[in-house]
Structure 1
Amino acid sequence: MSVDGLTSELPPARSALCCHCTRWTTAPVEVRHIERTSGPGVTLYVCPEHAPDMMPGPLAGELEAFA
């Protein structure tokens, strides 16, 4: 470990809306990526509490190998 590793700034905290309970979480878990024909795709997140209940779908980049 270097001094830079101890004194550098922390990365910004990630937060997202849980698509199951609709509450904000600071520890989002990706569960699905939805491609759209007009514009960038959308990634859906859940909070860690609901992650075991959600069946994961394809994430960004997983289906590109089949296209």
Structure 2
Amino acid sequence: MTIDGLTTPPPLGNVAVCVKCHCLTATPVAVRHIESTSGPGTTLWACPEHAASVAPGPMPGELVWPRQ
């Protein structure tokens, strides 16, 4: 082990940008999922301080349309 291994901070695991304040947060809360017609959808995240003030939207699997 080197001295850098002991003194550098660990890498951040789950980091996202808040949709309300546009700041990085290490404790993101999923507030909405936007489906895409081509490719994977996008999840919008909020920091814990703003998660309650963001209007929640559908999450993956909540808008499953019946097949006819």
Same fold (TM over 0.5): yes
Number of residues paired by the alignment?
55
Unaligned runs of 5+ in 1: 1-11
CA RMSD of aligned residues (A): 1.4
> 2:50 corresponds to which residue?
50
Give 1 or 2: higher helix fraction. Answer: 1
- TM alignment of 1:13-32, pairs within 5 A: 13-32=13-32
Unaligned runs of 5+ in 2: 1-11
Give the TM-score normalised by structure 1.
0.74
Return structure 1 stretches of 4+ with deviation > 2 angstroms.
none
Report % sequence identity: 53
Larger Rg: 2
